[in-house]
Structure 1
Amino acid sequence: MAASYFQERQAPATQDGLSPASPAVASRGANALSSRITSVLSASYADLEIRDALETLDGRGVKNTAETRRQIRLDVQKEVIQCNGEIVQDFGEVAAQLKRIGSAISSLNRYCADMRSHIESANRETGPVLEEANSLLTQKKQIETKQQILHAFNSHFLVSGEESNVLTSTAEPVNEEFFQTLTRVRKIHHDCQVLLGTEDQTLGLEVLEQSSKQLNAAFQKLYRWIQREFKTLDLENPQINASVRRSLRVLAERPALFQSCLDFFAEARENILSDSFYAALTGSTTDNTNFATKPIEFHAHEPLRYVGDMLAWGHSATVSEREALEVLFISEGDEIRRSIQAGLESEPWLRDEDAEVFDGKKALNQLVSRDLTGVARLLRQRTEQVIQSHDDATLAYKIANLIGFYKSTFGKLLGSDSEVLEVFNALEVSAMRQFRGNMRDHVASVQSELTVAPLDLSPPDFLEEALEMLKALAKSYDTSVATVDDRDNAFQSVLAETLDPFLGGCENLYKGMPQPNGDIFAINCLLAAKLVLSPYSFTKSRATEIEGTISEHTGRLIEYQHGYFAHMSGLHALLEALSSVSDSTESLKTIPTLEPFQPEALVSASQQLDEFIPSALLDAAENIKKLRNRKMVQEITEEAAGRFCEDFEFVESKILAADELLFAQKDGEEDDEPGLRDLFPRTSGEIRVLLS
């Protein structure tokens, strides 16, 4: 379209009667054309306004003709004028509407002023009424608040007559309702502190006094109820009434009543257990009621079994009592301790600064110990009768061990500070005192038998009897006192009573006997004692001590056998002669001049040696054949034979050394005189072979 526009603009035109060919016209046309071209070329067709204008023309469907180009400006201006006219017309309508709105607003303002005046007049008339209404509403709210406070106070701090009757009347049962009411009254009593903190304390004091009276009456009722329950309480039933446990926990808030209740219970249980123990012993109770079970006194014929059955019954009763009471105290131990602590805080005048905090297990042990007081007293009487009515020392010691065993068992059940253990300590001391007295009487009775030892050098009868008794005592001690810490030292007193006097008697006999019979007799007695002591660990130290004594006697027997070998073989004279000879040359030269080394004496010693050696071991063993341990006989003889061989080697070495010096003096000269070796030809190797 732009191209056609420029093409049409190049067509010749006339203006004011001038020909285009005239120079002036041509000059102006050229300037206009160059300005137009410059304007067109300088225009930026990327401008948005030009683009919008071109799009508008294109949208109108305008064709690029000369007529159109001439009329386009007029058409546009015409349209602008029309649009402006329409706008002016529209604004006229708007102005009319604005005038109507202005009149409406003026009317509304007049109406608002009228309403404002009416409202102000109404406010002036209704003001006093509203103030009175607000005052009445405030008073109503205050009254409602006071009513709520009064209702809350009555419901929290006041106890109804029915609740008071449940709490204090003995005709009413102790049930869940009682405990709930008691809990509520305790809370009221505690919350009175809030009332006492106000300016007017009269109400708080009145409520506190009333709640205190109700609580005291309730705890008294609970205390009497628990006492009645304790009279009929069946501890054998594992399902003990839960209300009793709960009652004890609650009653613990009054420590004095709680302790009094425990004392009453302990006294009742003591009587019950004493009657049960008496019935188990005799078959009937104190009120002559017979039982179907066979009594202990009828079927326990042996004293030891009689005491053991009584102790076993006491142990069984203790276990049952502890298990039953454990449900009452240990299961609620923490609650009871807290209740007692709360009671002491509420009643500080009852607090003892030195008193220990309630311990459930300790209290249980103390209560069980108090329950067993009557049983322990009856047990002590019967056991002391058994101990004092028998003179058998073994029986007294077995009873002491049995009592010691049960003492340790009761100590684990009731604690080391239980009063029941004092009874066991007294019985154990009594039994041991009876044992020592019986042993001393027995030792005094057998002292007359300490005259001579048996011909076969075996342990005497009194020692055999003592060892049999010691064996029974050691077995009893080993099975009964398994928990003693210092077991070795604990049995030393028994050894001092049952073994040492009899070994001392054997020692007196052995001292007056010739050798080797004395040492043989001593070894036989000590071996018998060691045989009894060896199986037990608590006699190890004494067995070791006896072994040392046996070794001493064995050493003396070896010396005796060694002397026997030396004298019977003829070697003793040679050893004595050589005892003064040293290893120096001058001393060795004197050996042939010694009397035992003279040819005749040396030949005689050699013959005596040859006659003795073949049967030396048998002859030497015959000397100690009464030693009851055959192995020791062999070992002692062989040890003595070994020492004899060493002595023979010593003699042989001296003889050889003397012969060497003698041959060295002769310097190879022939001499028919025989040497010491020729006169005493046996060698140490031959002696060892013959004595092996």
Structure 2
Amino acid sequence: MNSNANPLSAKLTKLLSSSLDDPKLRTSLTALSDFYTVNAVNSRHNLRGDIERRGTEVNYEFLRELEKVNLQFLELEEEMSSMNSLCQEMQDRLNFANDKTITLLEQTDALREQSNLCAVRQTILEAFLDRFTLSESEITILCSTAMDVTPAFFDALEHLEKIHADCNALLITEHQRAGLEIMDSMRTYRSISYDKLHRWMQTECRTMSRPDGMMEVREVTKKAIQALKQDDQFFRAILEELVHVRRNAIFRAFNEALTQGGPGGTPRPIEIHAHDPLRYIGDMLAWLHQTVASEREFLESLLNSSERRSRDRGQAEIKLPKASPLRLVESEQSDADIINALLDKNLEGTSRPLRSRVEQVLVSQANAITAFKISNLIKFYSSTIERAIGPEAALSKTLHELSEASMQVFFDAVGKQSADLLRRPESPGPDLGPPPAMKETVSQLKEIMKSFDTSFVQVDEGNQDFAPILSAVIDPVFQMCEIGATQRNAFDRAIYMMNCLHYVQSALVYPFTKHKVEVLEKQVQEYVDTVVDELHIVLLKQSGISTLIHAMETKEEQTPLSKVPQMDAAAVSSVLTRLDRFLGTVDLDLASWLSKIVSSRLAKEISRQNVKMFVDAYRRLCVAIEDPKNQYENPSSILVRSADDVQMVLVVD
């Protein structure tokens, strides 16, 4: 039977092909399990009816619930209708009230606008008064002599200055009259307040008389100085007062350091070391150097200088004529310029006692080395202090003049020594070595160079500064040596001067003597050339070929060398047969002649040059003998040794 014709078979096939993983099927089975509890035949037959009955019950229940909702909506509709009626009634009342009060509302709006306008005007007036007027308390702080200068004073003064500056804005508006009136009143208050500040600062300056310059400056004092900068007249007056106090204090402290020493005698008075010129002058200069540093720190603190870390020295300086009050070149100056000017005036009083004491030491000083050390010491402190206070300061000029004076004392002492040497020149000794006077002078020069090397002078400056010193010390000694050696022959005189130059040259080991070493090296080379030339003549004579060389160099060009008298083959051969004996002793002869040269390097150089010159001369002679123009029949029989043989024997590089 065909399975498609059997409904049961088709249904079973459909059921069997259904997937149990279908979510809808699983949900249906879960819902069915809620009311289908008994798996009986009768239950399965009535399954469709049960499901339909249950669906009907659910629909009835849903209708009952909707009926409740409908009743609630009806109640809500009634309440909304009631509220709508109330709202309409209230709207009607509001419209009625609005019609009755519209005039009142218009009056209220007008009054509100007038109130707002008054409030704006009041705000503007208060701002104007705050900006362009001083309060009663500020006027009292600024003008009352009974009130001290406090930070509140500077707050009020700053407000006054701001008002004064803001009045310029009023002068370019239609409120010019108000601006002028306010400016006049502020000018009056300003004059009174600056006069009060000036008088207070004068009193404050009188308390700054401690000599060490390290007083702690109060913040209120710094502010007073900054405020007075706004008025050139008051600022100049205060600086003049400050200079008067500080100059007297430093001058007094310097005299006390010289004659009394520190508190309780420590440190001891500087003048107790007057017997030691270097320490005496060094202590005075060290005191001044320390005072310059401490005074600068004090002034920078007083002026509250922002240039303590980066000093601007490019602006115009403050000119402080010695006999005139402090004057500012421009209305606005950098703090660095002001400080430099104040340092100059404050330290000015130390110049005279320093000068008198240093000059007393120099007058009694005859030792060149001590004079040079003093000059070096003064020059070092002069350059150091000059960088701190400027080259135009009175103390800087004094130190510069003392440095030149001490250097002049040095040159005078050296000149006296040089004159003594030239009056009694020493003759060369048997060894042709440097004379005792030169050794003593070089010993003195070494001490001078050592002092100069430790003086912190830059190398570039040293080359320039030390050159005249070097020349002043050693040039007269060389001149003395030349005068003393005039009676010697050229050979001995050249060796003597070479030894003297080398002795001095070997002592010049500092960078600042480099130029002089080069000059001496050229002079040494000139004497080396002289020794070489003189010794070359001797070697040619001892070897016997000097006559041959002379004949070769002086004959007429057209004349064959063999035709020159005593230059025939036999005569030449006779001379050259003695060459071997000369070559065997030439090394010893050279060592003997050059034994008095102090420098082994120079001796070797002279020996090498002489050997080379001799070989070159002999080579020229060989070439001339072998030249057919000179008509020697058998040159090889004449030349006992070739030039290469002679060079090999003498070992020439």
TM norm structure 2: 0.71
Residue of structure 1 aligned with 2:529, choices 555, 572, 589: 555
Q: Which residue of 2 aligns with 1:587?
A: 560
| C-alpha separation in 2, matches of 1:623 and 1:303 | 50
Offset, 1:515: 2.8
- The code of the aligned residue for 2:646 comes to I
**In structure 2, do the counterparts of structure 1 residues 509 and 604 end up closer, same or farther at CA, with 3 Å as the change threshold?**
farther
| C-alpha separation in 1, matches of 2:336 and 2:435 | 57
**In structure 2, do the counterparts of structure 1 residues 680 and 177 end up closer, same or farther at CA, with 3 Å as the change threshold?**
closer
Offset, 1:301: 5.1
Q: Which residue of 2 aligns with 1:256?
A: 233
- Retained in 2: the 8 A contact 1:330–1:361? no
| C-alpha separation in 2, matches of 1:217 and 1:353 | 23
| C-alpha separation in 2, matches of 1:140 and 1:562 | 126
| C-alpha separation in 2, matches of 1:577 and 1:137 | 139
**In structure 2, do the counterparts of structure 1 residues 423 and 188 end up closer, same or farther at CA, with 3 Å as the change threshold?**
same
Residue of structure 1 aligned with 2:361, choices 363, 379, 386: 386
Q: Which residue of 1 aligns with 2:595?
A: 625
| C-alpha separation in 1, matches of 2:560 and 2:116 | 143
2:621 maps to 1:647:
no
**In structure 2, do the counterparts of structure 1 residues 325 and 657 end up closer, same or farther at CA, with 3 Å as the change threshold?**
same
Residue of structure 2 aligned with 1:181, choices 156, 163, 171: 156
**In structure 2, do the counterparts of structure 1 residues 691 and 190 end up closer, same or farther at CA, with 3 Å as the change threshold?**
closer
How do residues 94-105 of structure 1 correspond to structure 2 at under 5 angstroms? Answer: none
| C-alpha separation in 2, matches of 1:144 and 1:676 | 136
- The code of the aligned residue for 1:373 comes to E
- The code of the aligned residue for 2:547 comes to A
**In structure 2, do the counterparts of structure 1 residues 261 and 595 end up closer, same or farther at CA, with 3 Å as the change threshold?**
same
**In structure 2, do the counterparts of structure 1 residues 257 and 610 end up closer, same or farther at CA, with 3 Å as the change threshold?**
same
2:437 maps to 1:467:
no
2:151 maps to 1:166:
no
Q: Indicate the SS of the match to 1:306.
A: helix
- Retained in 2: the 8 A contact 1:510–1:519? no
Q: Which residue of 2 aligns with 1:687?
A: 646
Offset, 1:139: 11
Q: Indicate the SS of the match to 1:516.
A: helix
Residue of structure 1 aligned with 2:378, choices 368, 382, 403: 403
2:474 maps to 1:499:
yes
- Retained in 1: the 8 A contact 2:569–2:638? no
**In structure 2, do the counterparts of structure 1 residues 301 and 581 end up closer, same or farther at CA, with 3 Å as the change threshold?**
same
2:613 maps to 1:613:
no
| C-alpha separation in 2, matches of 1:637 and 1:333 | 68
- The code of the aligned residue for 2:269 comes to P
Cα-to-partner distance string for 1:244-265 (whole Å, 9 max, x where unaligned): 1111111111111112111211
| C-alpha separation in 2, matches of 1:149 and 1:247 | 34
Cα-to-partner distance string for 1:523-555 (whole Å, 9 max, x where unaligned): 01111222223x233332222122111111111
**In structure 2, do the counterparts of structure 1 residues 147 and 568 end up closer, same or farther at CA, with 3 Å as the change threshold?**
closer
| C-alpha separation in 2, matches of 1:413 and 1:661 | 88
Q: Which residue of 1 aligns with 2:334?
A: 359
Q: Which residue of 2 aligns with 1:638?
A: 608
How do residues 180-219 of structure 1 correspond to structure 2 at under 5 angstroms? Answer: 180-190=155-165, 208-219=183-194
**In structure 2, do the counterparts of structure 1 residues 142 and 659 end up closer, same or farther at CA, with 3 Å as the change threshold?**
closer
| C-alpha separation in 1, matches of 2:483 and 2:137 | 95
| Larger Rg, first or second structure (1 or 2) | 1
Percent pairwise identity: 29
- Retained in 1: the 8 A contact 2:379–2:403? yes
| C-alpha separation in 2, matches of 1:318 and 1:640 | 65
| C-alpha separation in 2, matches of 1:175 and 1:264 | 21
- The code of the aligned residue for 1:647 comes to A
| C-alpha separation in 1, matches of 2:331 and 2:176 | 37
How do residues 202-601 of structure 1 correspond to structure 2 at under 5 angstroms? Answer: 208-233=183-208, 240-284=217-261, 291-299=265-273, 302-329=276-303, 331=305, 355=330, 357-480=332-455, 482-483=457-458, 485-533=460-508, 535-580=509-554, 587-590=560-563, 594-595=565-566, 597=568, 599=570, 601=571
**In structure 2, do the counterparts of structure 1 residues 145 and 211 end up closer, same or farther at CA, with 3 Å as the change threshold?**
same
| C-alpha separation in 1, matches of 2:646 and 2:243 | 88
**In structure 2, do the counterparts of structure 1 residues 190 and 438 end up closer, same or farther at CA, with 3 Å as the change threshold?**
same
**In structure 2, do the counterparts of structure 1 residues 684 and 192 end up closer, same or farther at CA, with 3 Å as the change threshold?**
closer
| C-alpha separation in 2, matches of 1:134 and 1:297 | 96
- The code of the aligned residue for 2:199 comes to R
- The code of the aligned residue for 1:505 comes to M
**In structure 2, do the counterparts of structure 1 residues 147 and 518 end up closer, same or farther at CA, with 3 Å as the change threshold?**
closer
Offset, 1:623: 1.9
Offset, 1:488: 2.8
**In structure 2, do the counterparts of structure 1 residues 634 and 180 end up closer, same or farther at CA, with 3 Å as the change threshold?**
closer
Offset, 1:395: 2.1
- Retained in 2: the 8 A contact 1:519–1:556? yes
**In structure 2, do the counterparts of structure 1 residues 605 and 213 end up closer, same or farther at CA, with 3 Å as the change threshold?**
same
| C-alpha separation in 1, matches of 2:628 and 2:180 | 129
Offset, 1:679: 6.3
- Retained in 1: the 8 A contact 2:561–2:567? no
Q: Indicate the SS of the match to 1:556.
A: helix
Q: Which residue of 2 aligns with 1:66?
A: none
| C-alpha separation in 2, matches of 1:550 and 1:406 | 39
Q: Which residue of 2 aligns with 1:104?
A: none
Q: Count residues in correspondence.
A: 536
Q: Indicate the SS of the match to 1:595.
A: coil
- The code of the aligned residue for 1:467 comes to V
- The code of the aligned residue for 2:611 comes to A
| C-alpha separation in 1, matches of 2:644 and 2:125 | 127
**In structure 2, do the counterparts of structure 1 residues 658 and 217 end up closer, same or farther at CA, with 3 Å as the change threshold?**
same
Cα-to-partner distance string for 1:56-93 (whole Å, 9 max, x where unaligned): xxxxxxxxxxxxxxxxxxxxxxxxxxxxxxxxxxxxxx
- Retained in 2: the 8 A contact 1:530–1:546? yes
Q: Indicate the SS of the match to 2:507.
A: helix
**In structure 2, do the counterparts of structure 1 residues 206 and 611 end up closer, same or farther at CA, with 3 Å as the change threshold?**
closer
